[in-house]
Amino acid sequence: MSENKDFLRVKVEEDLKAGKYKEVVTRFPPEPNGFPHIGHAKSICINFGIASDYDGHCNLRMDDTNPTKEDTKYVEALKDAVQWLGFDWGKSVYFTSDYFQKIYEYAVQLIKMGKAYVDSVDEEQMREFRGTVTQAGKRSEYANRTIEENLDLFEKMKNGEFKDGEHVLRAKIDMGAANMKLRDPLLYRIRHAHHFRTGDKWCIYPMYDFAHCLSDYIEGVTHSICTLEFENNRDIYNWVLDTLELTPPRPYQHEFARLGINYTVMSKRKLLELVDGNYVSGWDDPRMPTIAGYKRRGYTKESILNFCDQIGIAKANSMVDVAQLEYSIRDDLNTKVPRVMAVLDPLKVTIENYEGSEELEASYYPHDVPKEGTRKIPFSGELYIEREDFSENPPKGFYRLTPEQPVRLRHGYIIACKEVVKDNEGNITEIKAQYYADSKSGSDTSGIKVKSAIQWVSAKEAKKVEVRLYDRLYKNEAPESLDDLNPTSLKIIKDALIEPAVITEKPDERFQFERQGYFYADPVDYCEENPVFNKIVGLKDSWGK
């Protein structure tokens, strides 16, 4: 647990101390209408985190009251995400739809108490009657229906005798309330739609404001934690539970600031648009801000958990810099993954004075990483280096190979360029070079000074791989529409070359390709015939600088 307690934990401790509850029960209540995103990860960390800190329990509840948008595949994705992040919801997943009968009975009870009525105005009139911030609303004539009439109509609504929109059930609260949400909020609407769990059993569905507080109560939730947009809904939450005079203890709602990240959209509706429009390859496209996307890209669960922890829990909305998330994964991988060499845009180098071959022993980890491990790198007279590590007409400050400037091959020898070979169009096709036998890394007595060391692979042993370079999905800091998509967010390189140590038998392995970034063997597409590596994140840290 963090040393500085956030306001939610302070509240939980207060309630426990006061003996308000025996055990803390929270819930994570997503609507299964899309894959969970990084904002959900924050909510998962808060709800499961608090429950675990206080030896309580956190329920995973599918808030499935909107039949037209929900689906089992999203339920599975939500379960996967919670599990991957390392949390446990206990014996079973809960569904609001399991409480439809109970919630219906509570509605009938409110009607019997004279606290709810069937309204039959059309949408336009309903809006007009609602009033404005400065002007009180008024009830429609239907608010005068007798309890018997209301019971009868509500039952007929349930039995499917009316069309969508013909009637609604409303709470009878206060059409003059300063909090507009309290102006006789909707409790039920008619929706003739097939529900992915209850099928056609119901054609009336409870609204969020009615279903949520009751589901919390039914499950014995103590702290119902939601995002700030629901601040004004809290009064309805309390009204419903208080009016029904439920046996205590009852839950209370607490709000925290929603996570927003720049260069990122975080609404399932907008993410669905990207998937449906094929702007990405699916919900798990490595550019998506979904848990499935981060997972496929190669983010570790630790990096997501650390990020959620570091951004903290606030009461006011703010925007988090995406560089902070990138920092978090870089920071995690830095101490974990082996360093290897890959060449993304190969340029052939022939070392004319080298004969035969040898193996160079090289550490997987730099000195400041407390991990052990070495591999053997094949070395020969035929190598590939990164095309951009050679310059015929170097700009000022270019420290790599030029016709005049030698360079060190990482873990190997110093080489100098002797000849630049070109094709008919003037493109460089090969460098003929010379190596210095006494310059071997670790036992260099050559006295030659070089300004940098570059990655390389031996031509014969190198393996051809596909590398997918991912960049931010949006080019604008505050993306609004599809026009803000970054047209170069994915670059595919088909014939990159890696040293043999990178050739893993299974996907799901991470490496740092030296000087290039962190890479992940794609868990879906990687196979022996077509090894695919996803770029997780670059090496440069732009955050906090």
Catalytic residues: 31, 258, 268
Q: Are 316 and 351 in contact (CB under 8 A)?
A: no
517 binds, among Mg ion, ligand ATP, none (CB under 5 to 8 A by kind): none
- The mark string for 7-46 relative to Mg ion (x by CB under 5 A, - otherwise) is ------------------------x---------------
Rule CB under 6 A: say whether 267 interacts with ligand ATP.
Answer: yes
d(CA 41, CA 37): 7
The piece of 30-38, 301-309, 490-498, 506-514 that touches ligand ATP (CB under 6 A) is 30-38
Q: Strands 456-458 and 517-521: what pairing?
A: unpaired
444 binds, among ligand ATP, Mg ion, none (CB under 5 to 8 A by kind): none
By CB under 6 A, name the one of 9, 29, 64, 172 that touches ligand ATP.
29
By CB under 6 A, name the one of 39, 206, 251, 531 that touches ligand ATP.
39
Structure tokens at 123: 């949408």
In the chain, the amino acid numbered 252 is Y
Give the 3-state secondary structure of residue 78. Answer: helix
Measured from the CB of residue 176, what is the shortest distance to Mg ion in angstroms? 28
Measured from the CB of residue 230, what is the shortest distance to Mg ion in angstroms? 9
By CB under 6 A, name the one of 143, 180, 266, 272 that touches ligand ATP.
266
Q: Which is nearer to ligand ATP, 31 or 174 (CB)?
A: 31
Q: Are 205 and 66 in contact (CB under 8 A)?
A: yes
d(CA 97, CA 120): 25
Sorted by sequence, the CB contacts under 8 Å of residue 163 that are 6+ apart come out as: 190, 192
Measured from the CB of residue 268, what is the shortest distance to Mg ion in angstroms? 5
Rule CB under 6 A: say whether 49 interacts with ligand ATP.
Answer: no
Q: Which of 312, 295, 233 is nearest to 523 (CA)?
A: 295
Structure tokens at 541: 């840290």
Measured from the CB of residue 180, what is the shortest distance to Mg ion in angstroms? 19
CB atoms within 10 A of CB 294: 26
Rule CB under 6 A: say whether 471 interacts with ligand ATP.
Answer: no
**Binders in 215-234 for ligand ATP, by CB under 6 A:** 226-227
Measured from the CB of residue 301, what is the shortest distance to ligand ATP in angstroms? 18
d(CA 30, CA 36): 8
* Residue 249, preceding peptide bond in cis (omega within 30° of 0): yes
d(CA 510, CA 330): 12
By CB under 6 A, name the one of 6, 9, 21, 42 that touches ligand ATP.
42
Write out the residues near ligand ATP by the rule CB under 6 A.
29-31, 34, 39-40, 42-43, 63, 226-227, 258-259, 266-268
Write out the residues near Mg ion by the rule CB under 5 A.
31
